[in-house]
Structure 1
Amino acid sequence: MARVILVIALALVMVMGVTAVGCDGVDGNGDIPNGDTPNGEVPNGDEPNGDEPNGDEPNGDEPAEPDLVSGLGLVIDCDENTGAEPEVGDTALDFRFQDAIDTTFALSDFRGRVVMLNFWRTKCNYCIAELPHIQQLYDEWPATELVLLTIDKGEEPATVATYMQDEGLSFPVLVDREEKVSGEYEVTGLPRTFFIDEEGVIQVIKRGYFHTLADIEAILNQLLGQ
């Protein structure tokens, strides 16, 4: 009888040993410690079963709004106007451009947001006077509320790049070397700024420079209903 009890006890010890080896590294709820993800699970914060990490939602949700990269871009082309200078109430002429990383955009891509379109050049003293206000605007206003586009009229990219670097400016600049956009918008004096609403309609045209940031923000707040 004693030998039978001893055999049963030894058998129980062996079963417990096998169970302990099989569960090593896995807690009682099936969670995987130490960041390991066996059995086809996706590591590094990625979620399986079609869910997208980092707030991206696939499968029919609205696409992300286009965002410009700060720095130097290039004008590609512009729609032709009707032969008259653009006026308040006109739909802004569409044009195409590449940003600083060669992503192609059109002005019409930004429908749904207010656009401030500013024309300038490095040899224009009045333009230079308002550039710090434009930089501050770019730094402080979210891109979800305002799309800031500036266009350098008729200069070489190297000239504009050097000036931007020397002055510590980082807002988006489109070089319009052949004056494709400047010409169609009939920009004969600088600086000139067009404020375009969410529907793509010109609401304000400013001829001359802004003396203060508050002058620009007053127009933007009116357009945004703030």
Structure 2
Amino acid sequence: MVQEGQSQEKAVWWFQVKIWSVAVISIALLSVCFILSCVETYHFTHGKNDKRLSELRTHHASLTCFNEGTRVTEKVWGCCPSTWKPFGSSCYLISNEENSWSKSEQNCVGMGAHLVVINTKVEQNFIVQQLNKSLSYFLGLSDPQKNDNWQWVDQTSYMENVRLWHHGEPNFPGEDCASVVFWNPRGWGWNDVFCDSKRSSICEMKKVFL
């Protein structure tokens, strides 16, 4: 009887050892997978940032970085070209040089950016603080098919995005590009204008986060 009891205890003990061994091995494998995933994500993210930084340095002499708070235990810095204005996740450049819409967009692209895409009223409120009330500024919004199908240059959905037209605008066939302009007493809003008219412009690019 004693020997039989010892055999049962030994069998139970081996069963527990097997269970714990499986659990330990499973946890170890999961840990390895997690670590590899983190390393891969790190290299992917930082690889993209390094590429973006390299691209920006081909167009801009220097960058300015701002402390954007912390992410877990790692500091996060948002970087813009030194002459650009930072806001949210983007950098902005106000140009008073007057060009057509296509030339203005070309100039922005040449700096690694595009004509500004306004996504919120808060974003516009920040931008217009930098503008001259006597000037009109091209936005990255146009109607290239001339059929009232307005499109943003970065493929942001026009219908799902904020629309801040002046009352009654857009209102004139042939005026297929958008600008932001100050009208007294209405304040700042969007107006449809001829694409080949000469206006100032606003460029936008995404910040690089480090």
The two structures have a TM-score, normalised by structure 2, of 0.30
Larger of the two Rg values belongs to structure: 1
More strand by share: 2
The two structures have a TM-score, normalised by structure 1, of 0.29
* Greater relative contact order structure (CA < 8 Å, 6+ sep): 2
